[in-house]
């Protein structure tokens, strides 16, 4: 089983994380899940689901357990996806502030040269947000803003969600058929 770390923070957009986890659990990818306190609240408010329901089929870690196995470079993760990513978590990651398990796992992912995919979900953006994204990108992270496209003629919110999640999966090297690609 291929190991991926998934972080969910307090930005709006829990629907993206739920769809990502659903796709990963149905494939040969095992999500190691970290959810911030604000992330848990957003999941509850936007989906009505509890963390126990969301984490079924995942290995769940407390965001406060900085000694968890995924906080070490010796943990054999392929990479980490932070979806949705709040500006608070993005700023902490961009500055190397490994003050909880989510930001520590992101820091370790970067130092080990593994794939860190960050999906910010905020608008509008000011200069500090953009500078933090640029700093994180320079450190090796891939920034995939939650910006759906329309060339695939979406018919529902699920189609828009699948497009964004599909772009994240593309960056992770995980095959999917969530949206029709341009020209196919």
CATH of the domain at 18: 3.40.50.1950
Is residue 42 scored above 70 in pLDDT? Answer: yes
Give me the DSSP letters along 65-123. Answer: -TTSGGGSTTS--SEEEEEEE-HHHHHHHHTT---SHHHHHHHHHHHTT-EEEEEE--S
Residue found by looking up tokens 């949206």 in the block: 179
Does some domain include residue 132? yes
Q: What is the residue range of 153's domain?
A: 2-172
Q: Confidence class of residue 2 from pLDDT cuts 50, 70 and 90?
A: confident
Q: State pTM to two decimals.
A: 0.97
Positions at the binding site for FMN: 10-12, 36, 121
Residue identified by tokens 């906080």 is: 71
Q: Detail the residues annotated as belonging to a binding site.
A: 10-12, 36, 121, 151, 167
Mean pLDDT value of segment 58-72:
97
pLDDT band, very low/low/confident/very high, at 30 (cuts 50, 70, 90): confident
In a domain, 9, yes or no: yes
Whether the CB-CB separation of 47 and 14 falls below 8 Å is answered with: yes
**pLDDT over 70 (residue 160):** yes
Share of residues in the chain with pLDDT > 90 (%): 93
Q: Residue 80 domain-assigned? A: yes
In a domain, 183, yes or no: no
Question: Domain tally for the chain?
Answer: 1
**Given this model, what pLDDT does residue 184 score?**
66
- 184 occurs within a structural domain: no
pLDDT at residue 28, as a whole number:
82
Chain-centre distance for alpha carbon 50: 18
The pLDDT tens digits of the residues spanning 106-147 come to 999 999 999 999 999 999 999 999 999 999 999 999 999 999
Confidence label for 182 from pLDDT (cuts 50, 70 and 90): confident
Residue 160 falls inside a structural domain: yes
Is residue 178 one of the residues assigned to a domain?
no
Establish if 181 belongs to a structural domain: no
Binding-site annotation: residue ranges for dimethylallyl phosphate: 151, 167
């Amino acid at each position: 089983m291929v190991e991926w770390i998934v972080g969910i923070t307090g930005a709006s957009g829990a629907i993206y994380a739920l769809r990502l986890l659903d796709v990963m659990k149905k494939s040969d990818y095992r999500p190691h899940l970290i959810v911030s306190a604000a992330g848990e609240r957003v999941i509850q408010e936007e989906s009505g689901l509890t963390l126990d329901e969301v984490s079924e089929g995942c290995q769940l870690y407390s965001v406060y357990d900085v000694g968890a196995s995924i906080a070490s470079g010796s943990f054999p993760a392929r990479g980490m996806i932070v979806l949705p990513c709040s500006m608070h978590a993005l700023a902490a990651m961009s500055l190397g502030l490994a003050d909880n398990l989510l930001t520590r796992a992101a820091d370790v992912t970067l130092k080990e040269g593994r794939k860190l995919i960050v999906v910010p979900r905020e608008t509008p953006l000011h200069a500090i947000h953009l500078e933090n994204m640029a700093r994180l990108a320079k450190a090796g992270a891939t920034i995939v803003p939650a910006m759906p496209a329309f060339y695939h003629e979406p018919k529902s919110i699920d189609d828009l969600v699948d497009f964004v999640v599909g772009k994240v999966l593309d960056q992770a090297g995980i095959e999917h058929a969530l949206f029709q690609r341009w020209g196919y």
